[in-house]
Structure 1
Amino acid sequence: MALGLTYATSQTLVRMRLAAFRHALKDQSRVSWIGTGALLGLVLAGGTIWVAATGDQDLLLVALAVWMLGWVVGPLFAGGGDETLKPEYFSMLPLTPRTLSAGLLSAALAGVAPVISLLALLSLVVLGAQLSVPVALVALPVVVLQLLCFVLASRLAVAVYGVLLQVRSGAVLAAVVNAFILAFSAQGWALIAAFVSTDVQGTMASAARFAPSGWGLVAVDAAGGGDWLRVLLAVAGLAVLAVVMFAAWSTLLVRRTTASRTGRKPRRLLTGSGPRDAAAAKEVRSWTRDLLYAHRAVFAVCYGLFFCLMPLAVGWDGMLPWAGPAALVMAGSMSANLYGSDGTALWTTLMTPGSAGPDVRARQRAFLLVFGPVTVLITVLLTWWSGSSSSWPLVLSVLPALLGGAAGLVVATSVFAAVPTTDAHKRSGNPLNSGENEGETMGIVWVMLILVSLTAGPALVAALAWSWWGVPVGVASGVLAWWYLGRVAADRLEQRGPELLTLLRHGRSTTEQAKKTAALAEFPRWRRNLANFCLGFGAIPLFPQAVVPAVFKLTGNNDTKSWFLALHLDSRWRWPVITLMATLGLTMYAYGALTYLNAKKASRPDG
């Protein structure tokens, strides 16, 4: 009877998941993102199968490890992954934790990502077919178990992460781990080069063979050699791991759906001598008491540190002075939806006459208080540690420009381009999931990475041309950006506050969504997919292939080449390639942004 109930529950939840997916296909914007992601996944899956066809087991082990890492890490950067069916929806039903977990797991398998991962894992069958037909047959159940472990590892990672974000120490720890993983994806080459002298691929393959992602390949390889005991151990290991992860996930789901969340008595009441001081005190408390705010702040600072400290593993200290600016760029990007995070609480501000200006300035002051002292301290200490006297005028010019620019952009962006999210008091047991607009939120984060970086342009150019004269230019540009963008945001909030509150409370109207969908539908599918591709990958030619090599050239660093294409070429070709890459990156961003901007204009009532 229990088995029948589990089967019926799983069948029902799978149908619900597929129905939700069909509904999502009516939104042309989401279809474009899904199509772009699916296309990229198919390319990667095809590459994995091609690696298996060549018989290179070491490279295949590394590829499978990357797939599993993507399943574990990906949801942490995408709002907790796809939670169309939240466990809270079914907490009142008479279902045991195991039954509900089995149903949710079945629903999780009914998606685009599992299908693409299944195609990638068919590389094990391709590898087995090269050995013999029986080995290929052995690979079939191994593929199923390996996929099950991928999905369970993803769900368990999100559940553990959600538990950590419920307490302050856990939120800090999760931010540190998250920052390290993201920084490693960009600067991990330094750590690999430091600990691996010659055979990088072989060493990584040896480590991947012991990881769960490699157990399936170990089973196939052992079957080809006739070592059936090893096959049995590898398959049993995957099965036991799946059972353990399923049990742990079920336990965390019970905690998520039954744990009570009561408020705490404040240790100290808010005080203020006037509206501006009271608003500022409220905003500072938000950064210290809201665990998601605290998580983002720690993440931004740690990312800047990790990103610039990792090259020390190969003896290169040229990135040290830029840890503070890197942290500020990330902080501005992560804070781009301040008013969207408020949700319906915005009504308390709107109901107070004349509160728009003080509220905007309070958010700017809180941002400066949270990130200003720590980034200045990091910049001064690490620049002194690097011993690079030529870096002082550069970083001291860029830092105030970024501080003011970020403090101005976070309020202006959050007023003009707010994204509706789940109210703080309605957050689910997965704090990573903040609503149905995660794709739009991530798009704003990517755009803010560019905008915040550009605010340092005048100061950097002045410092490169006139050395210490760049400092007053940086201070002036930072103050101007802080004042002007804050004023623009306050005026907008004063004039269009009710519309913003309506957006945050109800989301975009059905009419607006329909007009936006119709506007996007007028564009060819290839253009929508190309726009998504440009927005997702425009950072690759712009930053690592243009900005970073340009900084190296301007600061006289000719030793570090890494994966920067321009630095591997003859000196006469370096600046043309840097310029070409910068143009390519900016063009990709401009094309993607203009595509959606035109659709947004067409969706307006007067469009």
Structure 2
Amino acid sequence: MAVALTMAQMKLAVLRHAFRGQRGQTAGVGAVLGVLLAAGTVYLAFAGPDLLAAGYAVWLLGWVLGPVFMGGGDETLRPEYFSLLGLPPRRLAAGLLAAAFVGVAPLVSLSALLGLLVAGARLGVANALVAVPAMVLQLAVFVLLSKVSVALVGLAVRSRVGAIASGLLNGAILAALGQIWVFFWAFGQTGVPAAVWYLPSGWALLAVRGDWWALAALAVLVLLLLGAWAALLGRRAGATRPSGRGRRPITAATAHGAVVAKELRTWSRDLVRNHQMTFALSYGVCFAASPLILGWNGMLPFAGPIFIVMAAAMASNLYGTDGTALWLTLMTPGTPDVRGRQLAWLSAQAPVAVVLTVAFTAFSGGPWPLVLALLPALLGGAAGLVPLVSVYALVPGTDPHRRAGNPLRTSEDDGGLTGLAYLMLALVPVTGAPAALAAIRYGWAGVAVGAGTGVLCYWGFGLLAERRLRTHGPELLDTMRTGRKARTTVKSRFDQLSTTRRTIAWWCFGFGAIPLVPQGVIAAVFVADGMLRHTWFLATYMPPGLRYPVAGAFAALGLAMYGTGVWIVRPRPAR
């Protein structure tokens, strides 16, 4: 008990000093969104028990899959910090579990679990009393399942076979969740599946409704997960080891060729990059192939473009993952580092994207102009945005040789990595929008537009990244070394804004992509392709005369939000 209390106090002290500046603002925005989701979950307690059980299943999936995809989860207190204390594994696991309950995510999840108390109060006093321990046990199950899943994937990523296998599995799971409507439709499921009651996320609700065995089952599951986590902590020692098999030496006649060779060697040896690439491949294929269950192959041609977008999101912190090795680039001025990284990224991703696109489009019979227009546009846009976003919004990463027992943990700032990934998911499709619209309107002419925009994005964004690296290289290296971002002129202007204007700017930049990309650009593509009444794309549900206007209005709204954000933070002339 003393160890657990001490670790919880340590975690609280660290967080009290960590949530400041930009990191504090990011945590605040995440907390607000989490509270809104928690409030919606509590509302489901009034809508019906089936919906509440489904809501808790979604929370469970978020706890299990979220940390795996976004940097290995919260490790403010790492097990390695206590390796010299000689604590038994179970005692260490119990202490780390107590510390894991301290934070924004557990507090938000506990707020969502108040729905159990509401459901119990509607049934009677005894049911409400059972809801209190059920809430605590259910939260413990969420946290422990998250820890165990991250530990298992971390062990898998230590070998090449494990890294590839876990990437394929995780990509398939996330794609299935994104296309869950396909499985509901295929199996004739019009309501909430009965299986959600028997998932661990539904046991607390079963206990509240009178199945008292579920409360005991939750307690047993907590003990089992705690034992499994303790065993995994014992196997965590040791860092990720790259493949040491003999390779041909790197030979290059030019500096550009040396950068390309170095990056390609990194792509082949870094197990985290292997995991990320196979994850993007699995996600793109499974997401596009899921509608085959319904006998519809219309999404198959877009497996390649989806893979490109996801692969770019995985590489959004390209310079950050190198750690302090950036000093090698800065000490050799004139080296075409950005261009070399661009070419290496294309060399690793483009062949896979081309094979996926051509093979699946030939299998489904088209639409050839649209996919062939999107392919070069997205490849060029992604190859330009990957280094650009990395140098402009760099998240300090852990040096590869210093990664702890959790190889997925490539940075201390989970929120920053998540934000970069979402930013890339929004920006890369925008680079393909002109080509898609031209192909829809003019057919094969869109291919020329896609090739032109791809080349322009590749060259232009790469040029901007080169200039940024040349003019702000020392600041970026200092950010890598210290973990603190240097205060720039833009950031200073942002900090000088009033609270209201700063909040409006955050919301505009954070949520402008939702009306612009999915409800605007993608919805217009779906309408043009005849994909009507498609999931949450509002334009596909409109009457024929309103479909394109609604998509256009959403796109205009997204652009207006971004424009408003830029207008708020723009520099003001001195009076």
TM-score normalised to structure 1 length: 0.87
Cα distance change, pair 11–209 in 1 and its aligned pair in 2 (3 A): same
Structure 2 residue 520 is the aligned partner of structure 1 residue 546: yes
User: Contact (CA 8 Å) 1:270, 1:278: kept in 2 or not?
Assistant: no
2:202 is matched with 214
Structure 2 residue 490 is the aligned partner of structure 1 residue 512: no
Structure 2 residue 510 is the aligned partner of structure 1 residue 571: no
| In structure 1, distance between residues paired with 2:510 and 2:518 | 15
1:585 is matched with 558
1:14-93 equivalences in 2 (<5 Å) = 14-25=8-19, 27-54=20-47, 56-93=48-85
Q: Measure how far apart 1:349 and its partner are.
A: 2.9
| In structure 1, distance between residues paired with 2:525 and 2:407 | 38
Tell which deviates more after alignment, 338-347 or 530-539.
Answer: 530-539
User: Contact (CA 8 Å) 2:250, 2:262: kept in 1 or not?
Assistant: no
Q: Measure how far apart 1:588 and its partner are.
A: 3.8
Q: Measure how far apart 1:530 and its partner are.
A: 4.8
> Which residue type is aligned with residue 360 of structure 2?
L
Q: Which of 440, 448, 451 in structure 2 is aligned with 1:472?
A: 448
| In structure 2, distance between residues paired with 1:476 and 1:538 | 26
| In structure 2, distance between residues paired with 1:304 and 1:462 | 24
| In structure 1, distance between residues paired with 2:264 and 2:348 | 8
State the Cα RMSD in Å: 2.7
User: Contact (CA 8 Å) 1:28, 1:520: kept in 2 or not?
Assistant: no
Q: Which of 105, 128, 141 in structure 2 is aligned with 1:136?
A: 128
Q: Measure how far apart 1:527 and its partner are.
A: 4.8
1:95-244 equivalences in 2 (<5 Å) = 95-195=87-187, 197-201=188-192, 204=193, 206-222=194-210, 230-231=211-212, 233-244=213-224
2:362 is matched with 384
1:94-493 equivalences in 2 (<5 Å) = 94-195=86-187, 197-201=188-192, 204=193, 206-222=194-210, 230-231=211-212, 233-256=213-236, 258-259=237-238, 264-275=243-254, 276-352=256-332, 354=334, 356-357=335-336, 359-388=337-366, 391-493=367-469
Cα distance change, pair 588–9 in 1 and its aligned pair in 2 (3 A): farther
Q: Measure how far apart 1:449 and its partner are.
A: 2.5
Q: Measure how far apart 1:9 and its partner are.
A: 1.1
User: Contact (CA 8 Å) 1:534, 1:592: kept in 2 or not?
Assistant: yes
User: Contact (CA 8 Å) 1:36, 1:529: kept in 2 or not?
Assistant: no
Cα distance change, pair 101–531 in 1 and its aligned pair in 2 (3 A): farther
User: Contact (CA 8 Å) 2:384, 2:461: kept in 1 or not?
Assistant: yes
2:259 aligns to what SS in structure 1? helix
User: Contact (CA 8 Å) 2:313, 2:421: kept in 1 or not?
Assistant: yes
Cα distance change, pair 240–589 in 1 and its aligned pair in 2 (3 A): farther
Q: Measure how far apart 1:560 and its partner are.
A: 4.6
Cα distance change, pair 455–53 in 1 and its aligned pair in 2 (3 A): closer
User: Contact (CA 8 Å) 2:238, 2:404: kept in 1 or not?
Assistant: no
Q: Measure how far apart 1:221 and its partner are.
A: 1.8
Cα distance change, pair 571–465 in 1 and its aligned pair in 2 (3 A): closer
1:225 is matched with none
| In structure 2, distance between residues paired with 1:124 and 1:417 | 41
2:545 aligns to what SS in structure 1? helix
Q: Measure how far apart 1:216 and its partner are.
A: 1.4
> Which residue type is aligned with residue 148 of structure 1?
A
User: Contact (CA 8 Å) 2:527, 2:539: kept in 1 or not?
Assistant: no
Deviations 1:150-194 (A, max 9, x none): 111111111112112211122222222332333234322112211
Cα distance change, pair 370–131 in 1 and its aligned pair in 2 (3 A): same
Tell which deviates more after alignment, 558-567 or 393-402.
Answer: 558-567
Q: Measure how far apart 1:383 and its partner are.
A: 0.8
> Which residue type is aligned with residue 546 of structure 1?
G
| In structure 2, distance between residues paired with 1:117 and 1:483 | 45
Q: Measure how far apart 1:105 and its partner are.
A: 0.6
> Which residue type is aligned with residue 374 of structure 2?
V
Q: Measure how far apart 1:382 and its partner are.
A: 0.9
User: Contact (CA 8 Å) 1:32, 1:532: kept in 2 or not?
Assistant: no
Q: Measure how far apart 1:109 and its partner are.
A: 0.9
Q: Measure how far apart 1:517 and its partner are.
A: 8.0
Tell which deviates more after alignment, 284-293 or 529-538.
Answer: 529-538
Q: Measure how far apart 1:496 and its partner are.
A: 4.2
| In structure 2, distance between residues paired with 1:112 and 1:488 | 37
User: Contact (CA 8 Å) 2:384, 2:462: kept in 1 or not?
Assistant: yes
Cα distance change, pair 185–32 in 1 and its aligned pair in 2 (3 A): farther
| In structure 1, distance between residues paired with 2:541 and 2:154 | 43
| In structure 2, distance between residues paired with 1:128 and 1:395 | 53
| In structure 2, distance between residues paired with 1:211 and 1:46 | 22
| In structure 2, distance between residues paired with 1:493 and 1:140 | 54
- Runs of 5+ consecutive residues of structure 1 not aligned to the other structure: 1-6, 223-229
| In structure 1, distance between residues paired with 2:313 and 2:563 | 18
Q: What fraction of aligned residue pairs are identical, expressed as a percent?
A: 48
| In structure 2, distance between residues paired with 1:260 and 1:402 | 35
- Runs of 5+ consecutive residues of structure 2 not aligned to the other structure: none
Q: Which of 501, 516, 523 in structure 1 is aligned with 2:477?
A: 501
Cα distance change, pair 48–81 in 1 and its aligned pair in 2 (3 A): same
Deviations 1:110-129 (A, max 9, x none): 22222222232232222222
> Which residue type is aligned with residue 183 of structure 1?
A
> Which residue type is aligned with residue 425 of structure 2?
L
| In structure 2, distance between residues paired with 1:570 and 1:15 | 58
> Which residue type is aligned with residue 101 of structure 1?
A
1:226 is matched with none
Q: Measure how far apart 1:532 and its partner are.
A: 4.4
User: Contact (CA 8 Å) 1:176, 1:299: kept in 2 or not?
Assistant: yes
Q: Measure how far apart 1:479 and its partner are.
A: 2.7
Cα distance change, pair 28–348 in 1 and its aligned pair in 2 (3 A): closer
